[in-house]
Structure 1
C-alpha cells in the first residue's frame, strides 16, 4: 500500500522504538495517534484508521481528532463493523471494494484508495476488540505482516495497561471470582464448612464499598445579598419580619436618627453662619482692605462646613437600609437588635432568593475522607427524614474552622441537583460519598486512627 515516499530504516529497530514509545505514552489519545500515524515506519500507506468495538472510530491518520458526525467517519464505522464481524480468526485480511457488500463498496472510491489491509487487534476480551485499517494504492507487502502483527500485540498490551480497571473495581472482582470458580469447580476442598467460612470472610474483607461520611448539614442560600451596618450607631426599628418576602428597594431597617439629625442641624447652622460672615466681609471689603484679606479664609471655612453637612446628610440617608434585590429577609430576632450598638461593616441580615439554595455541611476532622469534585451529597432533613435532598459537592474547605460547640470541622458546600422544595434554614444530617475501598479498610479505618493517636506511631 504505497503512499509514503519516505525511506524506512531497519524495520526491527523501528519496531523496538515504536514499542518503547507505546509503553511511554501518557494517555490513550497519544497512544492512538502513535498507531495511526507512525505505523508507516513498518508499512507504507496513505490512510489509517483505528476502530474499537466499544468506541467506534477512535483515531484517523493526519488529523488530531475524528469527528463522529462526519460522513467519512460514519462510513468507516459501517466498514469496520462489517470487517470485525467477518474476521473472527484474528488474521490480517487484504481487501478491495470488490470484497464488500454493495452498500459499502459504492462509497469506497470516494473515501479510500484501491487497496486496504484490515489488522484485527489481539484482544482476549470483547471490550478491547477492534482493528487497524491501512489503505494505499498498492497491495500490502507480505514481508511487513509479521512486523505489523507484532507491533499490534505490543500496542494492544500498552492500550490494555492504560485502561486497566481499578484494583477495587466491582467489575474486576466479579471477573476474578468467576475465574476462580471455573478453576476450582472440579475440586472438593471448598465443600468443607471451615474453608467456606474462611473463604467467605476473606472475600467480604476485599469487597469494594464506597466510603461515606456523616456530617451536620443545613440548607443555606447560595448567593445571598449580605446587608451590613453602613455606619456606627444604634438600630431603632425593623420594618420587616424574619423570613418575610421583600422587594428590591423596600425599607428593611433604620438606625436611630436623632443623633445624626442633631449633628446635621448643627452642621447646617454652622454653614449658614459661615456664609453670613462671608457676605458681611464681602460688603466690608469694598471699603476696608483688611476685610478683603479675610475673604479667602472665610471661603475655606464655608467649604469645610459644606463638606461636613453633606457627609452628615449622606449618613442620614444611609441610616435607612433598603433591600438590594427581591428575596427573603434572613436575620435573628429583631428584639435582639433594636437598641443594640453596631459598628460599620457588622452583618445584620441577608436577602436570599428562595430558588437559590445550597447544602452546607461541616465535616469533622476525624472523618475528612478524600472527596472528589462533584461527589454525591445527600441531606436528610430532621423535618423530613424520608425525603433526602441530593446535590453535588462544589468545594471543601482546606482549613478546619471552629464551630459553636467548640469543635473544629471542614466546611463543605454542595449545589442541588434540582429544586429543594424546602425552606432555607432547615437542618439535618448530610451524607458525603467518597471513593471505593475494601470493606476491611472501611471497618478498620476509625479504630486504626484511634490506635495511632493513642500509640503515636
Structure 2
C-alpha cells in the first residue's frame, strides 16, 4: 500500500478507510500504529494537528513529531484537556469540540495551541487486556468536521484500536484475565440451582477425587545384596600375605581364600618348640639325678610346670600358624575389594575381609531417608527397579525395617530395610537401582499434601 491516495480512492472515503485498515493490520508495532494515526488519518478529513492520549501513559504521540516531549507546555496542556474530555458525561461517543466545551481555565489557552475546530474520538478500556487503557485521539483544524467525517473517524478509531490491542497479547497466566474469566463464569451460573452450577459441580468432583484411595509409596535407593552371607574376618593380628582367590570367584567349602605372612609366626613357633625340647631334656636329667639325690626330686614338679607352659605356648603358636590360612566355610561367591589393597596391609582380629555368599540367596536392601519414612508393615510389597534393567521390577516383600536411623557413608541418616525376593531375580549381587516401598491405602488428598504439611509442620509450633 502507498502512503498517497490515488484519484479513484479520493472519490470514495470507504476505499480510503479500507486502505488504512490494511496498513494498520500490517503495522510492525505500536510506534508505527501511533505514527499512522497521527499523520495518515488526513486522508479521511483535513486537519492541522492531532494528539494520541492514554490515561495510563499520558500523551503517547503528536502529529508532525517523532517523539513528544512530555514536559513541554503544549503536551502538559493537552494532557489536562484529554483528561477533562475523558471525564465528561458523554465521553464514550465521538464529538465536535470548541473552546466553549472546555473548563474556563483550559479554554483561555485554546487559541494559543489549537485551531478553532476539533474532534474527540474516545477509546474504552478493557480490564482483561494488558494494552487497553482509557484514552482517545484529538484532531483539530480550521473547518468544522462534518457528520460523514465524524463517522469515518469513529470507525477508523475502532479499527485502529483493534490493531493496537493486537500488539499486546495477553499472557495466559495473567491474574486479571483469570479473575475476569472466573467472575463471568460465576455470573453465568448464578441463576441455576446450586446442584446445576458448574463451580459447585467442579468442587464436588474435586472433593470426590481427593477421596479416591491410593497406595502410599516411598522411593529409596536400593540394591541387591546377599541374604545370609558368611562373613570372613581376620582370625588374628597380622599382615595379609596373598590371596588365593579373585573377587566374585566361585569357591568350594574348605578352599583356601587367603593367607597371612607366616614368617613371624613360624619363627616364634620354632622358638617355642626348641624351648619345649630343652625343658623336656632338663626334666629327664633331673629325673635320673633324683634316683641318687633327694634334692633333685624337689625340682621335678617345677620342671613339669615349665614343660606344660612351653607345650601350651607351642600348641597356641601352632594353632595360630594353622589359622593363618583362611578357608571357605561354605560354597558360594567371594565378595571383597581389590586384592592389591589388602596385600601387605596390617589387620586386627575380627576385621572383616570378605564375604562368601550363595548366588541364589539374594534379597533387596533399601535405605529410606528420614523425611520419606512412612508406616510400613512386615510383608509390605517392595519393587526394585535396577539401573541395569529399568523396565522390569524385581518384586519382594518387606522382611524388616530398622527402628533407628543409620549413618550412611555419604553422611546422611536413613532407615535400613530388607525385603525377601518373591522369585529368583536372575541378577547378580551388587546391582543398584530405585526401590519402591508400598504402604497402606490413603485418600488422594493426604497423598498430595503429606510432604508439604510435614515440611510446614517443622517450622510451626502449633
Query: Normalising by the residue count of structure 1, what TM-score does the alignment of the two structures yield?
Result: 0.58
The 1:456/1:342 distance shift into structure 2, 3 A limit, reads farther
1:244-283 mapped onto 2 (5 Å cutoff): 244-283=249-288
Give me the whole-angstrom Cα distance separating, in 2, the residues matched to 1:386 and 1:288. Answer: 93
In the other structure, the counterpart of 1:435 is 440
**Partner deviation per Cα, 1:107-137 (whole Å, 9 max, x = no partner):** xxxxxxxxxxxxxxxxxxxxxxxxxxxxxxx
In the other structure, the counterpart of 1:375 is 380
**Partner deviation per Cα, 1:297-336 (whole Å, 9 max, x = no partner):** 1111000000000000000000100111100001111111
Q: Note the residue ranges of structure 2 that are not aligned, 5 or more in a row.
A: 1-191
**Offset of residue 441 of structure 1:** 0.8
Alignment of 1:228 with 2:233, yes or no, is: yes
Give me the whole-angstrom Cα distance separating, in 2, the residues matched to 1:193 and 1:336. Answer: 72
Give me the whole-angstrom Cα distance separating, in 1, the residues matched to 2:327 and 2:195. Answer: 78
Q: Secondary structure at the match of 2:459?
A: helix
**Offset of residue 455 of structure 1:** 2.1
Alignment of 1:416 with 2:421, yes or no, is: yes
**Offset of residue 191 of structure 1:** 4.4
**Partner deviation per Cα, 1:153-186 (whole Å, 9 max, x = no partner):** xxxxxxxxxxxxxxxxxxxxxxxxxxxxxxxxxx
In the other structure, the counterpart of 1:194 is 199
**Partner deviation per Cα, 1:329-370 (whole Å, 9 max, x = no partner):** 011111111111111111111110011000000111111111
In the other structure, the counterpart of 2:364 is 359
**Offset of residue 195 of structure 1:** 2.5
**Offset of residue 281 of structure 1:** 1.1
Alignment of 1:407 with 2:416, yes or no, is: no
Give me the whole-angstrom Cα distance separating, in 1, the residues matched to 2:362 and 2:249. Answer: 17
Q: Secondary structure at the match of 1:294?
A: helix
Give me the whole-angstrom Cα distance separating, in 2, the residues matched to 1:453 and 1:335. Answer: 49
Give me the whole-angstrom Cα distance separating, in 2, the residues matched to 1:430 and 1:263. Answer: 53
**Partner deviation per Cα, 1:256-290 (whole Å, 9 max, x = no partner):** 10111011011001001101111111122222222
How many equivalent pairs are there? 271
Which of these two proteins has the greater Rg computed from alpha carbons? 2
1:22-421 mapped onto 2 (5 Å cutoff): 189-421=194-426
Q: Note the residue ranges of structure 1 that are not aligned, 5 or more in a row.
A: 1-186
Give me the whole-angstrom Cα distance separating, in 1, the residues matched to 2:396 and 2:406. Answer: 23
In the other structure, the counterpart of 1:93 is none
Regions of 4+ moved over 3 Å? 187-192
**Offset of residue 196 of structure 1:** 2.7
Output the aligned Cα RMSD: 1.3
**Offset of residue 450 of structure 1:** 0.8
